[in-house]
Amino acid sequence: MAYTNPEEARAYARAWRKANREKCLAYHRKWATANPDKVKASVQQWLDKHPRYQTEWARSKRTGCSPEQFRTAFDKQGGCCALCHLPMLEEPRADHNHETGKFRALLHNHCNLAIGMFNDDIRRLFEAIEYLNLFQ
């Protein structure tokens, strides 16, 4: 069936793919398996055009912080780190509980790393404070 109107051709193709979903998926899987380099290049090209998606997706997988939670926390914290209360001059890090995976707040990278170095152990953090107080 030849279409002179490109919109009609797209609509027909869309309807055919919807009606033949399994056939399309099987073809795509076969093609992707035979062409891994093309798949990788295509994915990389898309990610290059959409860099925020990769960052948000990775953050969500790693910390359980959705893009909506991230924006809400940033606004609620007034653009400041939840630990040191200084303004965020770099990309905030989503702090999360490593046992439960629950998102806690947004921190500077170095504040997040500092907590992580103490394995989120409150006792060790208090010991570090006592140590620093010895040399005040």
Confidence of residue 50 (pLDDT cuts 50, 70, 90): confident
Pick the CATH number of 50-134 from 3.40.190.10, 3.40.50.1950, 3.40.1800.10, 3.40.50.300: 3.40.1800.10
CB neighbours of residue 60 within 10 Å: 16
Nearest alpha-carbon partner for 125 in 134, 117, 97: 117
Flag whether pLDDT at 77 surpasses 80: yes
pLDDT at residue 53 greater than cutoff 80: no
The model's pTM is 0.60
Q: Are 44 and 79 in contact (CB under 8 A)?
A: no
Three-state secondary-structure class, residue 103: strand
Residue type, 59: R
Tens digits of residue pLDDT in 78-126? 999 999 999 998 889 999 888 888 899 999 999 999 999 999 899 999 9
Range 115-123, long-range pairs (CB < 8 A, 24+ positions): 115/83
Q: pLDDT per residue over 61-74, tens digit each?
A: 778 888 888 899 99
| Domain boundaries along the sequence of the chain | 1-35, 50-134
